[in-house]
Structure 1
Amino acid sequence: MICTISPSRLKGHRFPTSIISYAVWAYHRFALSLQDVEDLLAERGITVSYETIRAWVKKLGPGIAKRIRASRNRSSDKWHLDEVVIMIRGVKHWLWRAVDSNGQTLDILVQTRRNTRAAKRFISRLMARWGEPRVIVTDKLRSYGAALRKLELDVEHRAHKGLNNRIEGSHRPTRKREKIQGRFKSARQAQRFLSVHDETANLFRPYRHKMTASTYRQKRATAFEHWNGCAKELAA
């Protein structure tokens, strides 16, 4: 992957776009620290500090994620919504997440509240991007039902904890990264990081157990091509 992009450079950077793109991809694709990515590049003869990699991730990651998100197909009409607590500087925040019936993350939103107003804000944000679904599956938090009534949506709402297992597992990578990073430093930083992290997972983590080996390899090659194409657009 590191050699598949032309040697063009992003403005203000001395390393080729291929190297920067690879560093950003490795950081978000695997449960690696910035120091781990620094060592991966060092093994390939590329000497760069982890602070520089941090700047690459902050600058290039959101741009690539934005392009990946814009090119995605329409989601399925069945959504699973859930919220999980994350601690930021000792203050409780809530990470709201939505996935479709295929397990693709639709959106995430970090908020300080877990009430009707927060649920309404998140659902409105989802519909502005993806349109109105047919079914919304949630746990038994009453704020979801109240938010849907306020929005006056003609949507089937299924509130049952046992029906929402699909999204419960989607929080695990977040917990893993939260531990590696020593918790998030701010709500803004968590929102920025997780938005890129989830788009990367959507692209590079298909349901492999449902595919043949050849199909998976083809999807992986397509994902690399798409990622590199997005990086090229930033360098243009």
Structure 2
Amino acid sequence: MSSAPPSCKGHRYPVGGIAHCVWLCFRFPLGFREVEELMLERGVVVSHETVRRWCAKFGQGRANGPRRRRPRPGDRRHLDEVFIKVGGELKYLGRAVDQDGNVLDILVRSRRDKTAAQRFFRRPPKTTRTAPRVVVTDKLRSYGAAHREVVPSVGHRSHKGLNNRAENGHRPARQRGRALRGLRSVGGARRFPSAFSGISPYFRPRRPMTATDYRTETRHRFTVWNRITGAGGLSATP
């Protein structure tokens, strides 16, 4: 994780316009051409290919800001995977989340065997620097075998119903993937969910809360986002 997001120096578009395009792409299930059309309605002429390059360059750096500001992760880990197609080939997108739904780790793998499960068990404690108290998975047997070898001292609950926290988190990412009409490379399959999981959930405060509280919290998050990205709006359009 880089210490600072990439600089917009040298780009002819204002920082606010770049940040807004990145926000649209990772907050809503929009394709690059749709973002191009939305920006044109605002009077900003930018191609879909430029939007794609901005997302690849600035997406992860912008996602790191909200991620650093979230509270310490919980002590319960939910591990789950979903089928995705990368370059026409079937892959497995694995996600580790805590009990509050915060994404702790993302892993793209070709198999669902014990070796892949062992790698998944080892990674989250390294990235979060906290040890889980309980790990929750579905009934895939490779998880049980990997758990016994990698983290036998950590509790393990294997039940499909208990793992809804991780399974439900796949829905926004899959919607966004369909808008992009699939992913073309393994590198892109890793980068996109990582940036998406840092930006999209940040602008979806957990409910229930009153409409007034929701708007207040959302305005606060926009203020933090503008501070992180250095954006002040869409002014200074080229």
Question: TM over 0.5, yes or no?
Answer: yes
- Which residue in 2 is equivalent to 1:74? 72
- Which residue in 2 is equivalent to 1:3? none
On the 8 A contact 2:136/2:163 being kept in 1, the answer is yes
- Within 2, Cα distance between the matches of 1:213 and 1:153? 45
Match of 1:29 among 27, 47, 62: 27
Q: Which moved more, 1:52-61 or 1:213-222?
A: 213-222
> Displaced runs of 4+ in structure 1, greater than 4 A?
none
Say which structure is richer in helix.
Answer: 1
Q: Which moved more, 1:26-35 or 1:143-152?
A: 143-152
Question: What whole-Å deviation, never above 9, does each CA across 1:101-140 have from its counterpart, x for those lacking one?
Answer: 1122222111112112111212211111221111111100
1:152 aligned onto 2:151: yes
- Within 2, Cα distance between the matches of 1:120 and 1:223? 36
Q: 1:217 Cα shift? A: 1.5
1:162 aligned onto 2:161: yes
Match of 2:116 among 115, 118, 134: 118
Q: 1:67 Cα shift? A: 2.7
Q: Secondary structure at the match of 1:154?
A: coil
Q: 1:215 Cα shift? A: 2.0
- Which residue in 1 is equivalent to 2:57? 59
- Within 2, Cα distance between the matches of 1:142 and 1:148? 10
- Within 1, Cα distance between the matches of 2:16 and 2:177? 27
Question: What whole-Å deviation, never above 9, does each CA across 1:17-58 have from its counterpart, x for those lacking one?
Answer: 111000100111011111111111111111111111111111
Q: 1:153 Cα shift? A: 4.1
- TM-score relative to the length of structure 2: 0.88
- Which residue in 2 is equivalent to 1:143? 142
Letter aligned with residue 49 of structure 1: S
On the 8 A contact 1:135/1:155 being kept in 2, the answer is yes
Aligned residues: 224
- TM-score relative to the length of structure 1: 0.89
- Which residue in 2 is equivalent to 1:133? 132
Question: What whole-Å deviation, never above 9, does each CA across 1:51-83 have from its counterpart, x for those lacking one?
Answer: 111111111111111233233221111121101
Identity of aligned residues (%): 46
On the 8 A contact 2:105/2:127 being kept in 1, the answer is no
Q: 1:213 Cα shift? A: 1.7
Q: 1:174 Cα shift? A: 2.2
- Within 2, Cα distance between the matches of 1:59 and 1:67? 15
Superposed CA RMSD in Å reads: 1.7
Q: Which moved more, 1:198-207 or 1:13-22?
A: 198-207
* Stretches of structure 1 lacking an aligned partner (at least 5 in a row): 1-8
* Stretches of structure 2 lacking an aligned partner (at least 5 in a row): 1-6, 232-238
Any residues of structure 2 matched to 1:76-225 within 5 Å, and which?
76-130=74-128, 131-208=130-207, 210-225=208-223
Q: Secondary structure at the match of 2:200?
A: helix
On the 8 A contact 2:32/2:180 being kept in 1, the answer is no
Letter aligned with residue 65 of structure 1: A
Letter aligned with residue 187 of structure 1: V
Question: What whole-Å deviation, never above 9, does each CA across 1:141-166 have from its counterpart, x for those lacking one?
Answer: 12222222222342111001121122
- Within 2, Cα distance between the matches of 1:125 and 1:165? 21
Q: Secondary structure at the match of 2:230?
A: helix
On the 8 A contact 1:105/1:202 being kept in 2, the answer is no
- Within 2, Cα distance between the matches of 1:48 and 1:176? 24
